[in-house]
Amino acid sequence: MTSPLPNELTGPYLHVVPPAAAAIVPATDDLRLIVETCPDLMCVTEMDGTFRYVNPAFKAVLGHEPADLTGKLSLDFIHPDDVPGLIAAVAANPEETSIEFRFRNAAGEWVDVEMNRKLMRDAQGEPAGAVVTSRDITERRKADQRFRLLADHSPVGIYIAQDGRFVFVNPQFARYTGYAEEQLLGMKPLDLVLPEDRDYVRENAVQMLKGARSFEYEYRIVNRAGETRWIMESVISIDFHGRRAALGNYIDITDRKRAEELQQRTLAELARSNEELGQFAYVASHDLQEPLRMVASFTQLLSRRYKGKLDDDADEFIRYAVDGVTRMQNLINDLLAYSRVGTRGKPPEPTDCAYIFERVLANLTTAVQESGATVTAEGLPTVMADPTQLEQLFQNLIGNAIKYRGERAPVVSVTAADDGGRWHFIVRDNGIGIDQEYRDRIFVIFQRLHGKEEYEGTGIGLAICKKIVERHGGHIWVESDKGKGSAFHFTIPREGGSGQ
């Protein structure tokens, strides 16, 4: 045909309407209006696919004038690669066909369309042509592509499951499960789940389908290699090709779970170990005291019963024996005190150092009076600490400052300063001082620089101080010289210590 055919919405087939819609067919004028204002592409074709009529949308969407199309074969405008598929689809479903293909627009570009073709019969019931409605699905295609891009490159596993089977999985999901993408499609998601967790997962799926928004939960799967992995999944109900489906996001949290488990076990182990240590220390000291008590008691009874009946040597021997026992008992009690810094330590709480200082002064009243000591404090803050241990710390340091005095009456000062992230305390005295060379040794358990005749004590006080300070995450050291007094420094971090 060479002359352009009229682009008319007329013809025998317009009198044929699908029987079901007979009751509600609008008047012809309205029909015209509907077709002409429809934003989707609507056309009528001959049986061979020639355009008989195209609606104005062809111009709006594709830029084609009706004259360019009417009388032309539609197949000429369709991408050659899509033509065989279209022909086969129509042949398979002549009454109604749905398919997607690419259609050339006026600018020569390929546009993705989705077509719905319905066969029309004439008054005699013979096939007389088709009414075709199509839609530009470029945007939808782009959206699909964007989704695809996202899914392909996502470090998160993504899947879509419908009717209890996977209909889409992304590469990361395949990696997580150890199966290939092709293997997963058609597999049932529950088959991947560890048997013990299946009820839980099923329960959550039910909840999710009931319309709960998005849902996050953790469970275990068994991958292709047979390993159990922990998964955190977020799943939501979506519409997929017209029906309900589940869209899930998946990350492997096995490492995190293992770290958590390890941490739990370690903490439990630590707690148990501390408990054991505490019990051991108690039992050890308890059982050690028993025989000591025997020795002490009977030597004292001996001395008492036979007073005056034994010679001076005997008295002296007994005195040494009893003295030895007493010292042993003190050592055991001190060791117990030392071990309790760890096993009976309490978690840090806000502690007013000024108040602790007052308590310590009260505890040391006798020592202060006997020595004529002057003890002052300035700028003491509130810190995060175990109050009992802080009191022990202050008492040991201030007590030492008074004890290790020289000729003069002791003058002791306690100060504190804010040193960035920590409090820096100094306990200064004018006592006998410590030789530089022993600066570190004095903090070692039972290390003494003086005989027991000169100054009493077992040498555990500073070791306990060090343990307390370190338990709170701080440091302790001394600046001193023989004959020149001492300054004991220690730090306590502001936010509270490690609290072991």
Q: List the 243-252 sheet strands across, edge first.
A: 165-169, 157-162, 243-252, 228-240, 215-222
User: Which lies closer to another protein via its Cβ, residue 291 or residue 483?
Assistant: 291
Q: Scan residues 195-254 and list those touching another protein (CB under 8 A).
A: none
For residue 202, the Cα-to-chain-centroid distance in whole angstroms is 25
Output the smallest distance, CB 368 to another protein, in A.
27
Q: Where are the alpha helices (DSSP H) in 154-253?
A: 171-177, 181-184, 189-192, 198-209
User: Which lies closer to another protein via its Cβ, residue 264 or residue 297?
Assistant: 297
30-38, 219-227, 286-294, 347-355 -> range binding another protein (CB under 8 A) = 286-294
- 480 φ, ψ to 5°? -165, 165
The DSSP annotation for 265-298 comes to: HHHHHHHHHHHHHHHHHHHHHHHHHHHHHHHHHH
List Cβ neighbours of 393 (8 Å cut-off, separation of 6 or more): 464, 465, 468, 469, 490
Output the smallest distance, CB 304 to another protein, in A.
8
User: Which lies closer to another protein via its Cβ, residue 296 or residue 397?
Assistant: 296
User: Which lies closer to another protein via its Cβ, residue 167 or residue 328?
Assistant: 328
Residue of 134, 133, 90, 83 lying closest to 112 (CA atoms)? 134
Element holding 113 (H helix, E strand):
strand 110-121
What distance in Å separates the CA atoms of residue 178 and residue 36, rounded to the nearest whole number? 54
List Cβ neighbours of 383 (8 Å cut-off, separation of 6 or more): 350, 351, 353, 390, 423, 492, 494
Q: Is 36 helix (H, G, I), strand (E, B) or coil?
A: helix
Output the smallest distance, CB 409 to another protein, in A.
34
Stretch 104-143: interaction string toward another protein, x if CB under 8 A: ----------------------------------------
User: Which lies closer to another protein via its Cβ, residue 235 or residue 322?
Assistant: 322
Whether 214 contacts 236, CB under 8 Å: yes
User: Which lies closer to another protein via its Cβ, residue 96 or residue 276?
Assistant: 276
User: Which lies closer to another protein via its Cβ, residue 9 or residue 328?
Assistant: 328
Q: In the set 329, 371, 415, 447, which binds another protein (CB under 8 A)?
A: 329
State the burial class of residue 463 (Cβ atoms within 10 Å of its Cβ: 0-12, 13-18, 19+).
buried
What distance in Å separates the CA atoms of residue 381 and residue 491, rounded to the nearest whole number? 12
Strand partners, 246: 161, 237
Output the smallest distance, CB 297 to another protein, in A.
4
Output the smallest distance, CB 384 to another protein, in A.
29
Output the smallest distance, CB 317 to another protein, in A.
17
Output the smallest distance, CB 279 to another protein, in A.
11
Output the smallest distance, CB 296 to another protein, in A.
7
Q: Is 148 helix (H, G, I), strand (E, B) or coil?
A: helix
Output the smallest distance, CB 471 to another protein, in A.
25
Stretch 288-327: interaction string toward another protein, x if CB under 8 A: -xx-xxx-xxx-xx--------------------------
Whether 339 contacts 281, CB under 8 Å: yes
Output the smallest distance, CB 300 to another protein, in A.
4
User: Which lies closer to another protein via its Cβ, residue 285 or residue 392?
Assistant: 285
User: Which lies closer to another protein via its Cβ, residue 329 or residue 363?
Assistant: 329
Stretch 71-90: interaction string toward another protein, x if CB under 8 A: --------------------
The yes or no reply on residue 286 touching another protein (CB under 8 A) is: yes
List Cβ neighbours of 45 (8 Å cut-off, separation of 6 or more): 51, 52, 74, 129, 130, 132
Q: Scan residues 89-108 and list those touching another protein (CB under 8 A).
A: none
Identity of residue 476: I
And the tokens for 375? Answer: 């003890």
Output the smallest distance, CB 342 to another protein, in A.
20
Q: What is the DSSP letter of 484?
A: S
User: Which lies closer to another protein via its Cβ, residue 297 or residue 498?
Assistant: 297
Report how many residues bind another protein under the rule CB under 8 A: 12
- 132 φ, ψ to 5°? -120, 130
Q: Scan residues 21-40 and list those touching another protein (CB under 8 A).
A: none
Q: Scan residues 155-194 and list those touching another protein (CB under 8 A).
A: none
The yes or no reply on residue 330 touching another protein (CB under 8 A) is: no
User: Which lies closer to another protein via its Cβ, residue 326 or residue 374?
Assistant: 326
Whether 62 contacts 103, CB under 8 Å: yes
User: Which lies closer to another protein via its Cβ, residue 165 or residue 293?
Assistant: 293
Stretch 436-475: interaction string toward another protein, x if CB under 8 A: ----------------------------------------
Whether 240 contacts 167, CB under 8 Å: yes
**Under the rule (CB under 8 A), what is the footprint of another protein?**
286, 289-290, 292-294, 296-298, 300-301, 329
